[in-house]
Amino acid sequence: MTTLSPELIASHQLTEPEYNKIVEILGREPSYTELGIFSVMWSEHCSYKSSRLHLKKLPTRGRYVVQGPGENAGIVEIGGGYVAAFKIESHNHPSFIEPFQGAATGVGGILRDIFTMGARPIAVMDALRFGPLDDAANGARNRRILEGVVSGIAHYGNCFGVPTVGGECVFEACYNGNPLVNVFALGVAKGDEIFYAKAAGVGNPVIYVGAKTGRDGIHGASMASAEFTEESKQKRPNVQVGDPFLEKLLLEACLEAMQTGAIVGIQDMGAAGLTCSTCEMGSRGGTGIEIELDRVPQRETGMTAYEIMLSESQERMLLVAEKGREEEVFRVFRKWGLDAVTVGQVTGDGLLRVRHHGEIVAEIPNQPLADSAPLYDRPHTQPLRSAPMRAPAFSSRDLTRDLERLLGSSDICSKRWIWQQYDYQVRTNTLAGPAAADAAILRVKETGAALAMALDGNARYCYLEPREGTKLLVAECCRNLAVVGADPVGATNNLNFGNPERPEIMAQLVESIEGMADACRFFEVPITGGNVSLYNETLGEGIWPTPVVGVVGLLKGGPPVGMHFPRAGLAVMLIGGLGKCDAVHFGGTQYAKAVLGELWGLPPELDLDHEKRVQTCVREITQTGVAESAHDISDGGLAVALAECSFGAPGIGAVIDFDSGMPPELLLFHEGPSRVLVATAEPEKVQEIAAGHGVEALRIGTTAEGQLTIRNRGTALIRAEVEALRKIFEGALENKLRD
C-alpha cells in the first residue's frame, strides 16, 4: 500500500487526530479508497461531529412517534392504521454553486429519504434564503440564484408529481454569498409497511437499483462541510445533476417491489453515495457488507474504486433482499425500465469489504465507520452579534405609507411569482396550498383525515438572541397549526449556521438548540429527525443563525379555515390581545428592517404559558367551526396581518378601532407573539371559548367591502383601498426581479 502524504490527508479535511483514529480502527494505514470513505463518512455533513453532542438535548419521543432520529426520515402515527414520514434537508452549498441543479437535487434527495421508508411523498415545502434582490453589488447574482433555485425546485417536484404546497422566502445581506435551500418533504404509508435501512440476514443479496454511477458529486458531502472560498466556484463538478423522471420511476418501482415482501432493508444513496448506504445499513443491522464494484452499473468508463464509492450520482438506491427471491425484485425494476443488479451480499463479519478488479480495495469495520466518527465539544462563548441594544429615535409621518412599504418589501410581499411555478395540486390532496391558510393542509384519502404542515424560521430574531429567537419560531410554527385547527404531532429541524470552529458561532448553535429543546418540550412536539448545515460562510462572512422548523399536525378532513376574510359584516376578533412591546423589543421587526433600515435590541418577548393557552383556544375556535377565517400575527405585526386577511378573492377589508396607549408604530407593527385574528359571525361564542382558556379576545372591528381602515381612539392611523394595497403586495416581487 502506498503511503499517504500529510497533504493528501489534509485535502480530505481530516485532522491529524482523526487520521490517527482511522489507523487505530484499521490497525494499519488506510488505502487511498479507504481514506476517501472515511473522509466523507466523518465529514460534518454525514457525521454531525460538531452538533451531535447538543442535538441529544432535543426531545425525540412522543405519543405519536414511531421512528425518531437516526433513520432516513422520522415517522409519526396519523390514525386509521397509517403513518406519516417526514424530514427536512438542506442543499445550501450546491444551490450557490449551481442554483438550478443544486435545488433540484435537493428536492430529489429528500424525496428518496421519504420513499425509501415505504411512504409515498404527498407534499413538499421549501424554506429559502437569498441575498437582497436590490443589493448594489450582488443584486443581479441574487436574482439569478433565486430564479435558478425556484425553477430547479419546480422542475424536479412538478415532474416527479409531488405538490409543493408552501414555504417561506426571506432576503438578508448575510445570504449574499450563501443562499439557503431547505426542503421539507412528507409522505404517507401504511403503519405495518414501513421499511428500514438495515442490512440483515447473512447471505442475503445486496442489490443496486436506479441510475448508473458517474463521476458527478464526488466529495459533495465534504464540500458541504467547509467554508466557501474563491476556489469553490471550481467545485461545480461536485454538484449532481437531477433526473426527476428517473426518480419517479424509482419511486414507483421501489413501492411496488416493497409489496412483493422480498425486501429486507433499503436505503437511498444520497450524500456519500454507495459508501454511506453500505456502511450505514451494515452498522444498523450489526452485519457486514461485501460488494463487488465491477458489478455496479456505470455510465463512464475507467472509474476508480475511489470514484465509484464516493460518487453522489442521483436517483440510486441500495436494497437487501431475501436470498432466493431476487427475481421478484428484478421483475418489478424491469417493468419500470431500471437497472437492478446484485452487487454483493450481507456477511456476518461486520466489515465493509469492497472489491474491484479482483482485489480488495477497502476493508473497514462498519460500526466504527458509521457511528464512531469523532465527537467534538467545540468551545462556545457569547453568540456573535454587533447590533446595538438601544433603539434609535423614530416617528412615522405617514402610517399608511409605512404599511405600503411593508407590503411591498421582499420579505412580506406576495410570493406568488415563486409558488405559481410549483404544481401545488397534483395528487388532488391540497385542501389549502400556498398563501391560502396559515398552514398547508393535505387530505389523506386513505383515512379521511387531514395533515397540516408549517415551516418557519426567523434569523433576525435568532441573530439578536438565538435562544429566544428559536423559541419564537417553534411557537409560531405550532401557532400556525393551531390556527387551522390542527394538533402538532411531530417536527423536523434544519439548523443552518456558520463555522462551528468559531466559538461565537458555536454559541449561536448551542443556544439555538437549547431554545428549540425547551420550546419543543413545552409544546410537546418531538423532533423526529432533521439536518444540520454548518460552515455556511463565504470569504469569512457567516450567515445569521438560521434554524428552520417544520411541524406536522393532524386535523379532521373537510373544508379548511383560510386566512382571508370571506365576507363583509363579520366581527374581527383579536385573540390574545394587543400584546406588549417596547422600543428595545421592536428592533427585530420588519418595520425596523423595511421602514427604518435598522436592526437593534431584542426579539419580541414570548410568554410560553400564554402562547400555549392562545393556541389551545384558537384550535378550539377553529375546530368548533365558529371562525370563518383565521390568521396569526407575525412578520409586520397587526396592520400587515389585517392587510393579508383582506387579500382574498372578494377583497374584503375591515374597519378597526383600537383603544390603546401604545405609540402608533408599535401598536400597528410590533411582532409580539401569541396573537391571532379571527373573523366570525358569533363573537360571543368566540369570547366564551377564550374566557374558558383565560385568553383575551378583543372585538376590534368589522369586516368591510374594499377598504382597510384602522383607527385608535378615534384618530385614523391607516386608511387604504384593499385593491391599492393588493397591487403593491402582489406586484412587488416581480418588479424587483425585472430590475
Partner 1 sequence: MKFGVVVFPGSNCDHDAWYAIRENLGEQAEFIWHDSTRLGDVDAVVLPGGFSYGDYLRCGAIAKFSPVMQAVKRFAADGGLVLGICNGFQILVEAGLLPGALVRNAALQFVCREVRLRTETTNTPFTAAASVGQVLRVPIAHGEGCYVADARTLDELEGEDRVVFRYVDNPNGSARDIAGVLNPARNVMGMMPHPERASDPLMGSSDGLLIFRSMVSAFAHA
Q: Which active-site residues does the annotation give?
A: 45, 91
- Tell me the residue type at 53: L
Tell which one of 4, 18, 32, 151 touches partner 1 (CB under 8 A). Answer: 151
Taking the complex as a whole, how short is the minimal distance between the CB of residue 186 and partner 1, in angstroms?
17
Comparing C-alpha atoms, which of 180, 126, 648, 153 is closest to residue 423?
A: 153
Part of the chain binding partner 1 (CB under 8 A), chosen from 137-145, 247-255, 453-461, 496-504: 247-255
Part of the chain binding partner 1 (CB under 8 A), chosen from 150-158, 176-184, 375-383, 493-501: 150-158
Compare residues 246 and 617 and give the one whose CB is closer to partner 1.
Answer: 246
Taking the complex as a whole, how short is the minimal distance between the CB of residue 432 and partner 1, in angstroms?
10
Would you state the cell numbers that stand for residue 473, as one nine-digit string?
419560531
- 449 neighbors 555 (Cβ within 8 angstroms): yes
Taking the complex as a whole, how short is the minimal distance between the CB of residue 419 and partner 1, in angstroms?
8
Taking the complex as a whole, how short is the minimal distance between the CB of residue 381 and partner 1, in angstroms?
47
Taking the complex as a whole, how short is the minimal distance between the CB of residue 163 and partner 1, in angstroms?
9
Q: Does 274 bind partner 1 (CB under 8 A)?
A: no
Part of the chain binding partner 1 (CB under 8 A), chosen from 126-134, 245-253, 270-278, 533-541: 245-253
- 553 neighbors 481 (Cβ within 8 angstroms): yes
Buried b (16+ CB within 10 A) or exposed e, 306-337: bbbbbbbbbbbbbbbbbeebbebbbebbeebe
Comparing C-alpha atoms, which of 151, 327, 301, 141 is closest to residue 214?
A: 301
Compare residues 248 and 378 and give the one whose CB is closer to partner 1.
Answer: 248
Tell which one of 18, 135, 193, 252 touches partner 1 (CB under 8 A). Answer: 252
Compare residues 68 and 152 and give the one whose CB is closer to partner 1.
Answer: 152
CA distances to 453, 458, 513, 514, 666 from 473, in Å: 14, 6, 12, 13, 20
Part of the chain binding partner 1 (CB under 8 A), chosen from 156-164, 171-179, 278-286, 566-574: 156-164
Tell which one of 146, 246, 532, 690 touches partner 1 (CB under 8 A). Answer: 246
CA distances to 62, 194, 384, 554 from 77, in Å: 10, 12, 40, 10
Compare residues 161 and 625 and give the one whose CB is closer to partner 1.
Answer: 161
Q: DSSP assignment of 159-181, as one string?
A: HHT--EEEEEEEE-GGGTT--EE
- 615 neighbors 690 (Cβ within 8 angstroms): no
Compare residues 419 and 658 and give the one whose CB is closer to partner 1.
Answer: 419
List residues bridging with 490 in a β-sheet: 552
Q: What is the size of the binding site for partner 1 (CB under 8 A)?
A: 32
List residues bridging with 121 in a β-sheet: 187
> 372: helix, coil or strand?
coil
Query: Where in 415-454 is the site for partner 1 (CB under 8 A)?
Result: 419-428, 430-431, 443, 445
> 13: helix, coil or strand?
coil
Taking the complex as a whole, how short is the minimal distance between the CB of residue 249 and partner 1, in angstroms?
6
Give Cβ neighbours of residue 391 (< 8 Å, ≥ 6 apart).
Answer: 583, 584, 586, 587, 600, 601
Compare residues 144 and 445 and give the one whose CB is closer to partner 1.
Answer: 445
Compare residues 243 and 518 and give the one whose CB is closer to partner 1.
Answer: 243
* CA separation for the pair 108, 129 (Å, rounded): 19
Give the number of residues written for the chain: 739
- Tell me the residue type at 573: M
Tell which one of 160, 228, 306, 463 touches partner 1 (CB under 8 A). Answer: 160
Part of the chain binding partner 1 (CB under 8 A), chosen from 8-16, 234-242, 382-390, 551-559: 551-559
Tell which one of 53, 66, 159, 584 touches partner 1 (CB under 8 A). Answer: 159
Q: Does 559 bind partner 1 (CB under 8 A)?
A: yes
Query: Where in 31-60 is the site for partner 1 (CB under 8 A)?
Result: none
Taking the complex as a whole, how short is the minimal distance between the CB of residue 363 and partner 1, in angstroms?
40
Compare residues 29 and 252 and give the one whose CB is closer to partner 1.
Answer: 252
Give Cβ neighbours of residue 431 (< 8 Å, ≥ 6 apart).
Answer: 441, 442, 443, 450, 557, 559, 560
Taking the complex as a whole, how short is the minimal distance between the CB of residue 554 and partner 1, in angstroms?
17
Compare residues 149 and 264 and give the one whose CB is closer to partner 1.
Answer: 149
Part of the chain binding partner 1 (CB under 8 A), chosen from 157-165, 274-282, 289-297, 609-617: 157-165
CA distances to 409, 587, 734 from 171, in Å: 10, 17, 15
* CA separation for the pair 493, 456 (Å, rounded): 10
Taking the complex as a whole, how short is the minimal distance between the CB of residue 189 and partner 1, in angstroms?
16
* CA separation for the pair 534, 45 (Å, rounded): 8
Cell 384550535 belongs to which residue? 619
* CA separation for the pair 65, 505 (Å, rounded): 32
- Kindly report the CA angle at 574 between 573 and 578, in degrees rounded to 5? 150
Part of the chain binding partner 1 (CB under 8 A), chosen from 243-251, 261-269, 320-328, 389-397: 243-251
User: CA 698, 699, 705, 710 torsion: positive or negative?
Assistant: negative
According to DSSP, residue 441 is labeled E
Tell which one of 22, 154, 513, 630 touches partner 1 (CB under 8 A). Answer: 154
Q: DSSP assignment of 269-301, as one string?
A: --TTHHHHHHHHHHHHHT-EEEEEGGGS-BSSS
Taking the complex as a whole, how short is the minimal distance between the CB of residue 564 and partner 1, in angstroms?
13
Tell me how far apart the 2 most distant CA atoms of the chain are, in Å. Answer: 87
Q: Does 336 bind partner 1 (CB under 8 A)?
A: yes
Compare residues 193 and 371 and give the one whose CB is closer to partner 1.
Answer: 193
Taking the complex as a whole, how short is the minimal distance between the CB of residue 556 and partner 1, in angstroms?
12
Compare residues 157 and 365 and give the one whose CB is closer to partner 1.
Answer: 157
Q: Does 249 bind partner 1 (CB under 8 A)?
A: yes
Taking the complex as a whole, how short is the minimal distance between the CB of residue 250 and partner 1, in angstroms?
11
- 717 neighbors 664 (Cβ within 8 angstroms): yes
Q: Does 334 bind partner 1 (CB under 8 A)?
A: no
Tell which one of 6, 17, 27, 337 touches partner 1 (CB under 8 A). Answer: 337
User: CA 30, 33, 39, 40 torsion: positive or negative?
Assistant: negative
Q: Which residues bind partner 1 (CB under 8 A)?
A: 151, 154, 158-161, 243-246, 248-249, 252, 336-337, 419-428, 430-431, 443, 445, 557-559
